Structure 1
C-alpha cells in the first residue's frame, strides 16, 4: 500500500487531511499522526497488508518510528520520500528504527554507487529493499537487472499494462531463463531473500 502521505500533510498544523482532494474541503477530516498510525494498525488487523510505503510525511520521523515499533514485525514499513535512497538518511533511519525497508530509486540519489551503498546499509540492518521505477519511465530494463543483481527480492514497476512496465517484467523472465535452476524465487522471504552483505 503506497500512501504517499506527504501529499496530504499540512506542515502548518501538523495534521494529515484525509479529505485533501475534496473541492469544498472544510478541514473536518484532518487527523494527527497518532490517529493516522491507528488507522494503519486497524487496516493491518483487518486486511492482509504486507507492506506500507510512505505512511507519514517525509519528515515525520516520530510517527514512522512509532508505527515501525508497533507493527514492523508483521508489516514492511517502506521509506521512499523519507529516505530518498540517501545513505545519510538511511543511516539515520536505521539508528532511530524509523522504518524497516528501503524503496530503491537510483535517480533519487543520482549514482549507482550511492544506491548500492544504501542497499548494503539496509540489508545489514535486516531491512527489506524494493527496487522501484519512477514516473515517466522508459522501456529501459536496468532496474530489473539491478533488482536481481542486488538480490532485493522485490520490484515495484506497476501493473503489467504498458510497454515500459512489461519491458521490466520481460527482462526478469529472461534473467530467470538464463539462470535456469540457479534462479531462486524469494517467495515469503521477499523482505530478506539472501544473507546481508
Structure 2
C-alpha cells in the first residue's frame, strides 16, 4: 500500500507547548530507531520533512512509529494519522493497485474498495490510528 505520509498526533497533550515537545521527542526517537535498523543514510528527510526509509509496506512503517512512541514514553498519549492518497493508486472499476509504484507489475496486489477498507480496519485494530486522510478515490 502506498501511503503518502504518516503523522504523529499528540492527542494526549494538555497544551500546544506539550504537543510540540511530544512531537519533537517522538521525531528524534524515530530517527534513532530508523538509524538503528537501516543505517544513517535512511534518516534523510523527504520533501515535507518526514523520514523516507526504504520500507516495503505500511505495517513496517507503523511498527517503526509505534516503537518511537513507546521509546519516548507516550503510549496512549500519541496516536497515528495516515495520509493514504488512494487516488494515486486507484485503477478504475473499484480497483486499487497496492503495487502501483512497480512498473509493469503482475497485478497480484490489486484489491477492491471493500478489501482496502478491511486493510484499514486491520491497521486501526493493531495500531493507535485515529485519522485516515484520503482513504479512497476522490472525484
TM-score range normalised by the length of the shorter chain: 0.3 to 0.5
TM-score normalised according to structure 1 size: 0.29
Larger radius of gyration: 1
| Higher RCO (CA < 8 A, seq sep 6+) | 2
Higher strand residue share: 2
